[in-house]
Structure 1
Amino acid sequence: MTPTLTAARAGVSRGWIEMRQTFTNAQDLWNYFFPTVLLFFVMFFMRGSTVPGTNFSLGSRTLPSALGMTVAFGGLITMAMALATEREDGTLLRAKATPNGMVGYLVGKIVSVAGITAVSITLYLVTGAGLVGGLNLGDPGAWLTLGWVSVLGMVATFPIGAILGSLVSNPRNMGLIMLPMMGLIATSGIFYPITNFPGWLQGVAQAFPIYWLGLGMRSALLPDSMAAVEFGHSWRHLETAGVLGVWAIAGLILAPIVLRRMARRESGSSVAARREKAMQRIT
């Protein structure tokens, strides 16, 4: 077995360990459950509203859209936050100092974040199915679509999240990523069809993966009749796969380049300087 494959196997084991540990941490559990509770409050207040031009519940439409948002959030925010935090505390420096350590580190991070994202999606589905109706949960084709959209969405967003995390040297500056992310979520049709938005805003939304993840999840779980409120009165599976594929290819090409440059800049003195700044903020 080659050293790279050995490091990858070690990364898989590391990822499973990190995922198990995170479910024993009260703060991490709160971070998982709070968005779920918040989403259910939103859907509760939407229960009397319908999608414009239909009699279909707006809350039922929101649930699959939120699944796409969860995949995007895990890839873009959770991954970026992990890299920024572990860059500051020296974890990345230790990985850099180990032969093929960066390979094992990144594989482990992908496994742990993907596992956490999968658990979050399951939590949304299990609890949300009892709150809203009209979902195609009994259709095998729906689960197949849910699967390929989720996997392709992770491949499209995880490398971009790693790039963003490598560019943020201080985890307390994550607001620079969070604010644009919240803006994209608000304009990507997660809570309301973007066909009712201005034309230029519709174009912006369709340039990013969040819209396509939401559309893909809606195509899996909503009745075919709900395609009438989407662009072209179609679920646009080919376009969904194409846009997510382009983001995946771009991320997989750029991420290794950016991460290698970031790793080369890491040193004991840079980690010590960041720790000192963090301690000054606390005191």
Structure 2
Amino acid sequence: MAVRAGLQRGRIEFRQYATSGQDIWSALFTPVVSLIVMYVLRDSTVPGTDFSLGTQSVPGILGLNVVLTGLVGLAMALAMDREDGTVLRAKATPNGVPGYLTGKVVSRAAVTVVSLFVALVPAAFLFDGMELGGAASWLTLAWVLALGLAATLPLGAMAGALAGSVQSLGFVWLLMMGLVGVSGVFYPVTALPGWLQLVAQVFPVYWLGLGLRSALLPDALAAAEAGDSWRHLETAGVLGVWAVVGLLTAPAVLRRMARRESGAAVAAGREKALQRQV
């Protein structure tokens, strides 16, 4: 019952999102600006090769979009709904919180996938050298994206549940940008110091970027990666582990958040929000 209600809620929220010009622009702003910058750099080449730097960066733009629209977007949506009392209202109905959370995850995943393909379509025409003609590329893109969302969305849900307010999520945003910076989303981590390469490979962001590059770029570029290969088995394994850990941990964190929701907490959150606006 909760899952069915959540799926219905997710469909409704996605429909509302898709008809809001402001929401659409917020999801597309970063990939659009990034594509423009990379198009300007399309004549530059990856060091040591004659391959376009702009084309090589396209998977990184898509990976960044998954992190910002999916993980950070879900955290912000959850924190905002806590402040305005949406979570408290869900708590007051049978199976309301599981249904609410299912709906949020479904709608945010749908927005992330759609915005990714909206960015990928023009990129296919603007940049030469991407491998989009074979079924293997699309199959790899599908499983990497599915596992990447399963690994990162629970992290976004937990961040939103643990955050005291929307304002406090600025730290999460900075943390994610730092992680993107060291995780080789836009370039192979082999350019980084050895210890930083090991740190990057602990987190799912690195493997998401690697998987997207393996789906969209020629196999010859795998020589620039750690291990001189796309490491599909390791990608699936690490993303799968993060997905399992997140799916096991997030419900407990979210149940704790729901128990703490009350009219007094919502009123305090609204008061803080009003003070920030003033």
| TM-aligned CA distance change 1:45 to 1:191, over 3 Å | farther
TM score, norm. by length of structure 1: 0.95
* Residue pair 1:72, 1:209 contacting (<8 A) in 2 also: no
Q: Which residue of 1 aligns with 2:215?
A: 220
Q: Which residue of 1 aligns with 2:248?
A: 253
Residue 204 of structure 1 pairs with residue 199 of structure 2: yes
CA deviation vs aligned residue, 1:153-199 (integer Å, no higher than 9, x gap): 11111111111110112112221101111111122222232211111
Task: State the AA in 1 paired with 2:63.
Answer: G
Long gaps (5+) in structure 2: none
* Residue pair 2:31, 2:62 contacting (<8 A) in 1 also: no
Alpha-carbon distance in 1 for matches of 2:134, 2:61: 20
* Residue pair 2:3, 2:98 contacting (<8 A) in 1 also: yes
Task: State the AA in 2 paired with 1:65.
Answer: G
2:82 aligned residue (76, 84, 87)? 87
* Residue pair 1:15, 1:112 contacting (<8 A) in 2 also: yes
Residue 40 of structure 1 pairs with residue 35 of structure 2: yes
Long gaps (5+) in structure 1: 1-5
Alpha-carbon distance in 1 for matches of 2:40, 2:190: 22
Partner SS, residue 126 of structure 2: coil
Q: Mean alpha-carbon deviation: is it higher for 35-44 or for 171-180?
A: 35-44
Q: Which residue of 1 aligns with 2:60?
A: 65
Q: Which residue of 1 aligns with 2:116?
A: 121
What does residue range 1-283 of structure 1 map to in structure 2 within 5 Å? 6-283=1-278
Alpha-carbon distance in 2 for matches of 1:180, 1:26: 28
Cα distance, 1:246 vs structure 2: 1.2
* Residue pair 1:78, 1:113 contacting (<8 A) in 2 also: yes
Alpha-carbon distance in 2 for matches of 1:229, 1:282: 48
Partner SS, residue 223 of structure 2: helix
Alpha-carbon distance in 2 for matches of 1:9, 1:272: 31
Cα distance, 1:96 vs structure 2: 0.8
Q: Which residue of 2 aligns with 1:3?
A: none
Alpha-carbon distance in 1 for matches of 2:101, 2:199: 30
Cα distance, 1:203 vs structure 2: 1.5
Partner SS, residue 214 of structure 1: helix
Q: Mean alpha-carbon deviation: is it higher for 188-197 or for 263-272?
A: 188-197
Identity of aligned residues (%): 59
* Residue pair 2:8, 2:103 contacting (<8 A) in 1 also: yes
Alpha-carbon distance in 2 for matches of 1:13, 1:249: 24
* Residue pair 2:30, 2:65 contacting (<8 A) in 1 also: no
Cα distance, 1:227 vs structure 2: 0.6
TM score, norm. by length of structure 2: 0.96
- Aligned pairs, how many? 278
Alpha-carbon distance in 1 for matches of 2:94, 2:133: 48
Partner SS, residue 47 of structure 1: coil
Cα distance, 1:36 vs structure 2: 2.2
Q: Where has structure 1 moved over 4 Å in runs of 4 or more?
A: none
Task: State the AA in 1 paired with 2:77.
Answer: A
Task: State the AA in 2 paired with 1:29.
Answer: I
Q: What is the RMSD computed on CA atoms of the aligned residues?
A: 1.2
